[in-house]
Amino acid sequence: MASAKTGKTKTGTLVALGLFFSLGVVLFVQLTNRPIVPLQQPLSMPPQVTLLTDPFLQSPTESSIRVVWFTEFAGSDHKVMYGPGDQTVFADTTQLSRTREDAESKTVEPYEAVTQRPIWRHEAEISGLRPGLPVPYAVASTTDDGTTVQSDQFSLRALPPAGEPLKILLTSDHQLMPMTAANLQKVEETIGQVDGVFLAGDLVNIPDRASEWFDDARGGAFFPCLQGRASYNLINDENEEGTVYKGGKIIQNAPLFTAVGNHEVMGRYSTTTALNKQFNDPVPWNAAKDLYDQHKAIFNPTENEAVERHWLKENSFNIDTYNEIFSLPKAQRDNGQTQRYYATTFGDVRLVSLYVTQIWRMFKVDDETRGRYQERAVDLGNPQNWGHGQMIFESIEPGSPQYEWLQAELASDEFQQAKYKIVMLHHPAHTLGDNVVPAFTTPVPVYDYGDEGNLTGIRYEYPKEEDHIIKYLVPLLDEAGTDLVFYGHSHIWNRFKGDSGMHFLESSNVGNTYHAHTEARPRPVPQDSRFKETYVATGDPNGLTPIMPTLKPLTDEFDNPMPYIASNDITAFSILDTGLGTITSYYFDTRKPESAVIPFDVFNLGQRER
C-alpha cells in the first residue's frame, strides 16, 4: 500500500525539475487539452545510475491513482513530484521476493545458475485529484550512496468521468515476441497517447525471470516496450539488416489493466532447477496435497496449517511475481481480497478481468512427451513427475469462488448500467487458433494396464461438452448483456459474433503465431484410436464462423480475403474508441518498415440485443 506521508519538498529536491514546475500554469492549460506530455532528458543523472523503469500508472479511482516504478537499489526518499506546485508524495518500497536469473537469461552479464536478483518496487498513491484533469508528474529515488536519480515528466489523472471519449488499446501476449516493440511503437505513432491499456495476459515468458520484465539484452523486455525504451532490431527475409523499434511511451501516461495468462504462472519452486523447467512444472493443488500428506506422515506429522499452505504453494504453482509487480483493482474473495480477477469502471466501460487459463502442454502423442494427452512412459512409476495434462489454474465452474463473484458482479448496477460491458480473459472462447483445443475442462485421466496389472500408460481426455468456458461462462456473460469478450493465447487476430450480438475478439498477433487452422492447415490433434474424444482440427471448434474484416482484409496466395491475421511478419493491434462506440483493428507489415499502418476492420459495440 502507498504511504500516507506527504508534505513540502526539502530544499533542493526539485532543483532538477525547476524548469518544469516554473512552466506550471502553461503546462496545466496545455494538459487540460490532453496532449502527449513532452519528455525531457533527466537532469543531473550519472550515466551509471538509473531507474530500472519509468513510472507507470495503476488502479485509478475518482480522486486518486497509483504510481509505480522499479530500481535495482533499495535507496531512500522514493517520491512522486506532481502538479504545478511543489507537491510530493513519498512511496512505500518493497523488494520483489522471487525475481531471479539463470543460465538461460538474456542478460549482458551471464548467470551460471539460478540466482536471486534483487529488485525494489516503489508505489505512491496520488490523491485529491479532480476527475478528468491531467496533472504533470515525475518520480525520483535516492541511491544508497546519496545520488538522486529522477524520471522524465509525464501526465497522470484520476478515473475519466462517464461520457468522456477515450481510446483504449486492446492487446495481449507480448512475451518478448519479435514484433512487440514494433507493434507498440506503431500504436503511439498512429493513435497518439491512448487513455488506457487492456492486456489479456501472457505479459512475459517466464514470470520469475527479472530480465524479461526489465532489461532483456535482446531489447524487447515488457516494461521497455510499453514505455518507449526498447531497442529491438527486427530482422526478416525482406529486411536483412533489420529495423530497430523502441516500443511506445504508453503506460507512463495511461493506466494498465491486465489479466492473468498461463505465462504469469510459475510451477513448483526450486533454488537450483532452471527457471524454464520450473515454469513448465505446475501440478494441481489436489496432487500437491496428496504428496504433502505422504510427506507429513513420514517426516513431520506435527506441521501446522501455515507450514502446509506454504509447502502446497511451493509444490504446485503461484503467481507471486505478477501479484507483486502490479496493483490492480481488488475483488472480495473468501473474507479477503484478490487481484487475480476484478472489475472496474473506466469512463463508459465496465471492465471485468477474469483468471481463466491453464498450463500449455505439447500436443504430441508419444511415450517421450509429457503433453496435453499423455504422460511420459518413463514417469509412470513416479507420480511426482506427472504433468496432469492441461490443468486449469483457477476454476470458473458454478460454485467456485470466481464464478460466484462473477455472478454478483454481472448483476451489479455498475455492470448493468455501463454503456460498454467488456470481459477480458486469456483463454479463447472462439478462435481459429491452436490453443482452443482440447476443451477448457479438467483433464480426465485414463489409466492403461498390461495383462499382469502393471501401469502401461496414462492418457487424458477432454470432453468437449464439458468445456467450462462454453458451458458455464459464455451463457452467463451473454445473459448479463456483455458487449465484448476479449482474449488472446493463440497469437492471432480474429473475431466472432454470437447470435445475440455479443462480440468475441482475439487480438494478440505480435509474433510466434500458432496459425489459423483452416482446411489447408489443420490443427495437430490426436489420431490415436485409443482416444474416445473427437478433437476438431479446423475452424472454430465451438461453432462460430469468423467475421471477415470490414475494411481491408489480408488476402491469401489466391487473392482470397482472409478472416484472420496469423503472421510472423504482419502485426495487429486494436483500439476501442468509446466516443464513437467502435473497435478498430490495424495492421503493420514489418517487412516494409516505411509502409503505412492500415486500418483493416471496424465494428460497433453497444448494439446487441438485450
Question: 285-299 vs 305-314: helix axis angle to the nearest 10?
Answer: 130
* DSSP state, residue 127: -
The DSSP result for 447-483, as a single string, is EEE-TTS-EEEEEEE--GGG-HIIIIIHHHHHHTT--
Beta bridge partners of 590: none
In this predicted structure, what is the pLDDT of residue 298? Answer: 66
Q: Provide the 10 A C-beta neighbour count for residue 490.
A: 27
Condensed to tens digits (0 to 9), the pLDDT of residues 34-62 reads 333 333 333 344 445 799 999 999 999 99
Closest by CA to 576, choosing from 413, 419, 434, 353, is: 419
Closest by CA to 425, choosing from 347, 515, 485, is: 485
* DSSP state, residue 351: E
Q: Could you give all domains of the chain from N- to C-terminal order, each with its CATH number? A: 46-158 (2.60.40.10), 159-281+316-602 (3.60.21.10)
**Residue 401 is inside which H or E element, if any?**
helix 401-411
Residues in the chain: 610
Beta bridge partners of 198: 170, 257
In this predicted structure, what is the pLDDT of residue 471? Answer: 98
Which three-class secondary structure state does DSSP give residue 533? coil
Q: Are 341 and 402 contacting, i.e. CB atoms less than 8 angstroms apart?
A: yes
Phi-psi category of residue 224: left, alpha or beta, with phi > 0 → left and psi -120 to 50 → alpha? alpha
Q: Are 608 and 485 contacting, i.e. CB atoms less than 8 angstroms apart?
A: no
Which parts of the chain sit beneath pLDDT 50?
1-47, 610
Q: Provide the 10 A C-beta neighbour count for residue 499.
A: 8
Q: How far apart are CA 237 and CA 560, in angstroms?
A: 24
In this predicted structure, what is the pLDDT of residue 609? Answer: 53
Condensed to tens digits (0 to 9), the pLDDT of residues 135-149 reads 999 999 999 999 999
Condensed to tens digits (0 to 9), the pLDDT of residues 562-585 reads 999 999 999 999 999 999 999 999
Q: Are 185 and 247 contacting, i.e. CB atoms less than 8 angstroms apart?
A: yes
Starting at the earlier edge strand, list the strands of the sheet with 56-58. 56-58, 65-71, 120-126, 92-95
With 0.75 as the threshold, say if the pTM is over it: yes
